[in-house]
Amino acid sequence: MDIPRLGVSVAVLQGSKSRMLRLGAGHIEGTPLPGEAGNSGIAGHRNTFFRDLKDIWQKDEIQLQTATGLLHYEVEWVKLVVPDDISVLAPSTESVLTLVTCYPFYFVGPAPERFVVRAHKY
């Protein structure tokens, strides 16, 4: 996955367990794969691969290389939610990408919120 304006480039692995997230971003279990219809969730640690999400803007491009080709997404919105608010991963009729990381970015210890980025495929 690449976010060109931010210079972010990270491998997206299957699963979002802590071990996987030490190696890259992780596809959240139970969500569709990127490019499929629905809401694909990807998690990453705020202090490593997803640190630069703090600077993401609406309309930024997110690129995701899959086995079937290069997918392009455009950021729709960014918001903060409490950790147990899984509504951001609710099913969708269109192909969307939801990036999730802990917030605040420079907080020490368990973070009190989640930083969520929603992008739609174009």
Superfamily of chain region 2-121: Sortase (2.40.260.10)
Residue with tokens 């929603």: 118
pLDDT at site 19: 86
SS3 content of the chain, % helix, strand, coil (to 5): 15, 45, 45
Domain boundaries, the chain: 2-121
The whole-number average pLDDT for the span 91-104 is: 96
The pTM for the full model equals 0.95
Q: pLDDT band at residue 111, thresholds of 50, 70 and 90?
A: very high
Nearest to 122 by CA among 53, 81, 64, 67: 64
Q: What percent of the chain has pLDDT over 70?
A: 100
* Residue range 24-51, pLDDT digits in tens: 999 999 999 998 999 999 999 999 999 9
